[in-house]
Amino acid sequence: MPKDNIERAIAKGTGEGADADALEAVLYEGYGPGGVALLVDGADRQPQPHRLGDRYLFTKQGGNLGEPGSVAYLFDKRGVIVVDANRYEEDDLLPAIEAGALDVAVDDDVFEILTEPGDLPAVRAALEQAGVELESSEQAQHPDARPDRRGDGDPSCCA
């Protein structure tokens, strides 16, 4: 493949060049295998013509593409900060609560700190100032409820 074609494809993918203004944000909603709610957030140059192709990708693996609003109500936009639970204790995360964090939860071997999207920078800065190393910090669509991971059918364990 010619080098020019490769460079042009990279420029399109990164939003550089003449096609940068043509990108539109898209949010696809649907259900995956087993009824798992999915939000697919991305950017597309021509979102409407691809709708059939996207529907095919959902149904190919046993899911289905939903209408706008069919799944989004199950998620909230949140700031999510992840901290290694093997290195830090809950008490080390008190600066996050003082800076406005909504919740601190343990998930496997990490602490997951939830914030309002606008409070994410202040909470992140408070943790960094307290000497806590962050594994990640981002804004994300966070589910309102978590699935039962214990397998005993008790949904109260993970809500």
Q: Is the pLDDT of residue 74 over 50?
A: yes
Residues 6+ apart with CB under 8 A from 115: 78, 79, 80, 81, 96, 100, 101, 102, 123
Residue type, 32: G
Residues 6+ apart with CB under 8 A from 77: 117, 139, 140, 141, 142
* Distance of alpha carbon 71 from alpha carbon 27, whole angstroms: 11
Query: For the chain, how far is it from start to end, CA to CA, in angstroms?
Result: 51
Q: What is the mean pLDDT of residues 126-153?
A: 80
Q: Is the pLDDT of residue 15 over 80?
A: no
Could you tell me which of 114, 110, 92 has the C-alpha nearest to residue 101?
114
Q: Phi/psi at 79 (nearest 5 deg)?
A: -85, 135
Residue 22 token pair: 């043509």
Identify the weakest region by mean pLDDT among 17-31, 74-88, 89-103. 17-31
pLDDT in tens, 60-71: 888 888 888 889
What integer pLDDT is reported at residue 138 of this predicted model? 94
Q: Is the pLDDT of residue 150 over 70?
A: no
pLDDT in tens, 36-49: 888 888 777 665 65
pLDDT in tens, 23-35: 677 788 888 888 8
pLDDT tier at 148 (50, 70, 90 boundaries)? low
In the β-sheet with 136-143, what is the strand arrangement from edge to edge? 103-107, 110-115, 75-84, 136-143
In the β-sheet with 24-31, what is the strand arrangement from edge to edge? 37-44, 24-31, 64-65
Where do the H-state alpha helices sit in the chain?
3-14, 51-60, 94-98, 120-129
The residue written with tokens 């806590």 in the block is 132
